[in-house]
Amino acid sequence: MKLFLPLSLLLLMALYATAQTPTDLFFSEYVEGTGNNKALEIYNPTNQTIDLTNYYVVRFSNGSSTFTEGGSTRLSGTLAPHKTFVLVNGQTTSTSTSPACSPELQAMANQLDGIYPAPTYMNGNDAMALVKTPGGVAPNADMSNVTPVDLIGQIGLGAAITAETGWSYVKDSTLTYNNSEGIPVTGKVINYIVQSKATDGATYGPFWMSWTSDHVLIRKFNIIKGVVANPNPFKVTAEWDTVPAIKDTAGHWVYKDIWTNLGKHNCTVAPFVSKITVSSSENKTIIDTKEGTLQMMAEILPNNAADKTILWSVNNGTGKGSITNNGLLTAQEDGEITVIASAQDDSGISGSLKITISNNAVGISNSLETAQQIIVYPNPLTSGSLTVVSPFAIQQIEIFSAIGQRVYKQSYNSQQTMIEIGNLELKKGMYLIKIIDFKNSINAKKLLVN
């Protein structure tokens, strides 16, 4: 059969892989959790969109050399460059022997797997393979019509793993621990395989030593190609890391049911954005003309980031502005704003730059009847105390200088119609008071300070 070349070619193929650009898919995350909380993430490291209908996930159950008992699933759709595809166990109802997969996990799927014995019923001691066939025809039982793409585990171990727990991060280990009756027993890991029973034949083995059961594994950052040779032995730590453990409700550290990284993958051939530096044309940080504009720019690192798409947005502070998808910023109200460029590659990275706006409209929309009922006194102002009276409860008061600079801002939740502002320290000159009531009406009054 074609699947997974002899071990004698493994070194040659490894050297070849390091010198070549990735050309095909690979498994990027492995989820083996509580009950049927199981999933596989597949990553496209190439620069081409790949038709998934030519690909199958197959499971070699309990050390078998065929997938007959482990099932096969044909993938659907397409996978864009440097993106992931998530296949999740599809069981939605529980039986007395088989619980449903978590709806939360299933909601993260691009495709739900089929009924038992579909591949995502793996339980830690099953080898999982990704293969492709010409035109997407079903794989032959002897795998003679498939091209190997990737592999987790070792195929054909037979009795060495049939009843065992899974693959460990250590080759050989002998551990002594107490059984449920407090009697010391001995558990073993033999050639990376965690034994399911202690040497007394009755007590559980050191199950916590297994990385392929009750764990979430993520492909190492430097892996850019799948495994196409059946390893002997399978060393899980060679290409996989576990997610950091979390505490469960009982306070125990666990490595399962952690899906925070599912649906995204960071790979050396096409890494995530690591830094965004925001600047503007001519390095300006001020817009000082009415409804002026400023072209914003973003430097994105590293240069070979897989997805350099960014989303522009404005955080309006004391001022107000708007920005287009292409980064053209338009001033609306005086004050300070923050322009933000956010990466869209799941890295969570963003960059920002503060911009000052002056000489722009405050945004007053007087209702004549309301404006006539608003009283500001004393006016002219000679002391540091000012009173504002409105027919409606006052939500916010702002004061602007003659050049549009905001010199005072205060919000109120007391539903008062009369507000006294004390300790104002205003220089002589003309000011504009902006009053916003709880009907969201905006009115203005002039104030002279002597």
pLDDT digits (tens, 9 = 90+) for 312-366: 999 988 889 999 999 999 998 888 999 999 998 888 899 999 999 988 765 554 4
pLDDT of residue 312: 95
- The pLDDT of 240-247, averaged and rounded, is 93
Burial 86-107 (b: 16+ CB within 10 A, else e): bbbbbbeeeeeeeebbbeebbe
Whether residue 229 sits in one domain with residue 320: no
pLDDT tens sequence across 113-164:
999 999 999 999 999 999 999 999 999 989 999 999 999 999 999 999 999 9
Domain count, the chain: 4
Mean of all residue pLDDT scores within the chain:
90
Per the structure, the complete domain to which residue 25 belongs is given by 7-166+210-254
pLDDT of residue 159: 96
* pLDDT over 70 at 86, yes or no: yes
Whether residue 402 sits in one domain with residue 295: no
Q: How confident is the model at residue 248 (pLDDT cuts 50, 70, 90)?
A: confident
Which pTM was predicted?
A: 0.68
**CB within 8 A of 318, min separation 6: which ones?**
334, 335, 336, 406, 409
Q: Are 436 and 395 in contact (CB under 8 A)?
A: yes
Last residue of a domain, one of 330, 357, 384: 357
The CATH number of the domain holding residue 293 is: 2.60.40.1080
Share of the chain above pLDDT 90, in %: 69
Report d(CA 421, CA 418) in Å as an integer: 10
Nearest in space to 30 (alpha carbons), one of 262, 202, 194: 262
Backbone angles phi and psi of 348, in degrees to 5: 80, 10
Report d(CA 355, CA 335) in Å as an integer: 8
107 within a domain of the structure (yes/no): yes
Query: How long is the chain?
Result: 450
267 within a domain of the structure (yes/no): no
